[in-house]
Amino acid sequence: MRIRDVTAWAGRAGPRTVDLLIALLVQAAVTMPFVVPRAPELPAATWTAYGLTTLMVLPLVVRRRAPVAVLIAVLAAGAVYRFAIDGPGQPLPYTGLVAFYTVAELSSPPKRTGIAVLTALGVLVSVGVDSDALRELLFSLFVFAAAYAFGRLAVTRKAYLRAVEDRARQLELTHRIEAEQAAARERARIAREMHDILSHAVSLMIVQAEAGPVAVRTAPERAEAAFDAISEAGRDAMAQLRGMLGVLRENEGAPDAPREPQPALAGLPGLVDRVRATGPAVSYEVTGRPRPPGLAVEATVYRIVQEALTNVVRHADAAAVRVRLDHGPEALNLTVADDGRGPGGGAGLGLTGIRERAAAHGGTARTGPGPDGRGFLVAVSFPHPRAWPEPEPDQPTGVKK
């Protein structure tokens, strides 16, 4: 059985069981000189000597409750045994060593120091009266010093184990908190995605549906275009929702789980066209030398433009909207400006989502009235990572639509 297994068993058994087992082991050790045949010239072992030896072992059962008292009782019984009874000697003072170990492990520093001094004096007196041999004195002092050292090492080991357990609990708590925070961030991200998809699609459908009856009476060809726009907005929303729900499926290997790509900058012209079909004149302009910002940033830019245009359709009553994407040397800058009356007095989930999306990629977002106090402006900036390479000189410098 390994030491680790013994330690684990001792932890499960409890201190009282361990102390009883130690007392039985010590009793077995001190019994050996009484059962081993003795030389004829030595005095015979008596039941009195054996009984006193047993009385020296019994206090070890309660050694943790009163370590100092147990050590004093053991040393006193040992002195009586040595000077009053001529019994078999012991190879080692087992009971004294166990009791001294317990004092070193459990007692306070003043008690440990006092007991160590008294024990050393007792060893000097005992060896001096018995044989006055330097070799025996050094050996006795060494074994008691070793028992003291092992007692202190036990304290250090317990402190180390407590520290390891505390650290493990802290790590577990940290991991649980991080998992909860990650889940909260993911829920917030899904909520933003659902809000952007549904809000944009429903807003376009409502605008076209409200214009449909009027167009049917005055311009039937426009009514047909309105219904086509409603159908296209609904299909686009359903496709995006299917892609999102497919990602959320537990069974990712299901053949019927669709995997639609995340929206990107290339999808902005189509988004602008769909909004333009609802009435406002939406322009789209790209300036600077484009450099790839990454799929995550591209999806974020798309969603911000989508939310800004949704607000224009729902609240602004604008005649013109300008979407501008500038690939600057230090940052990717996005502005969406309209000439309407703005999204109202409150900051809804849409504007909050825009700021959260920008902050998630280290960017900043500003929303409010336009430069001349008219309309509404959404300005977002995403700083370029320093590791990005400079764009090639022959890349296009601007796109207008």
Which of 2-11, 58-67, 122-131, 234-243 bottoms out in mean pLDDT, i.e. has the lowest?
2-11
**Tens of pLDDT, residues 116-147:** 888 888 777 776 666 667 777 788 888 888 88
> Is the distance from CB of 38 to CB of 77 less than 8 angstroms?
no
Structure tokens at 179: 């998992």
**Tens of pLDDT, residues 270-329:** 888 888 877 788 999 999 888 888 888 888 898 899 888 888 887 777 888 999 999 988
Mean pLDDT of 234-239: 69
Class for the domain spanning 265-401:
alpha beta
How much is the pLDDT for 308?
Answer: 87
Task: Work out the number of other CB atoms within 10 angstroms of the CB of residue 102.
Answer: 23
Which of 34-48, 132-146, 321-335, 345-359 bottoms out in mean pLDDT, i.e. has the lowest?
345-359
How much is the pLDDT for 77?
Answer: 82
Percent of the chain surpassing pLDDT 70? 70
> Is the distance from CB of 122 to CB of 93 less than 8 angstroms?
no
The yes-or-no verdict on residue 208 having pLDDT over 50 is: yes
DSSP H or E segment with residue 246: helix 220-248
How much is the pLDDT for 222?
Answer: 61
The yes-or-no verdict on residue 72 having pLDDT over 80 is: yes
Mean pLDDT of 224-239: 68
DSSP E strands, 238-279:
none
The yes-or-no verdict on residue 217 having pLDDT over 70 is: no
- Residue 9: what residue type? W
Residue of higher predicted confidence among 85 and 48:
48
**Tens of pLDDT, residues 356-395:** 888 888 899 998 888 777 889 999 999 987 644 455 544 4
Provide the pLDDT confidence category of residue 257 given band limits of 50, 70 and 90. Answer: very low
Which of 73-82, 135-144, 187-196, 210-219 bottoms out in mean pLDDT, i.e. has the lowest?
210-219
Share of the chain residues as helix, strand and coil, in percent rounded to the nearest 5: 65, 10, 25
How much is the pLDDT for 347?
Answer: 47
Mean pLDDT of 210-218: 65
The domain segmentation of the chain, as residue ranges, is 3-132, 265-401
Provide the pLDDT confidence category of residue 336 given band limits of 50, 70 and 90. Answer: very high
Tell me which DSSP letter residue 44 carries: P
The yes-or-no verdict on residue 88 having pLDDT over 90 is: no
Mean pLDDT of 217-223: 64
Averaged pLDDT of the chain: 77
Residue of higher predicted confidence among 287 and 250:
287
Mean pLDDT of 37-41: 73
- DSSP, residue by residue, 98-120: HHHHHHHHHS-HHHHHHHHHHHH
What CA–CA distances, in Å, run from 324 to 333, 381, 395?
8, 12, 18
The yes-or-no verdict on residue 176 having pLDDT over 70 is: yes
The residues that bridge with 321 in the sheet, in sequence order, are 282, 338
Which of 184-193, 342-351, 353-362 bottoms out in mean pLDDT, i.e. has the lowest?
342-351
Q: Please, what is the end-to-end C-alpha distance for the chain in angstroms?
A: 80
**Tens of pLDDT, residues 99-109:** 888 888 888 88
How much is the pLDDT for 354?
Answer: 85
How much is the pLDDT for 326?
Answer: 93
Which of 60-74, 177-191, 308-322 bottoms out in mean pLDDT, i.e. has the lowest?
177-191
Kind of pairing, strands 320-327 and 331-338? antiparallel
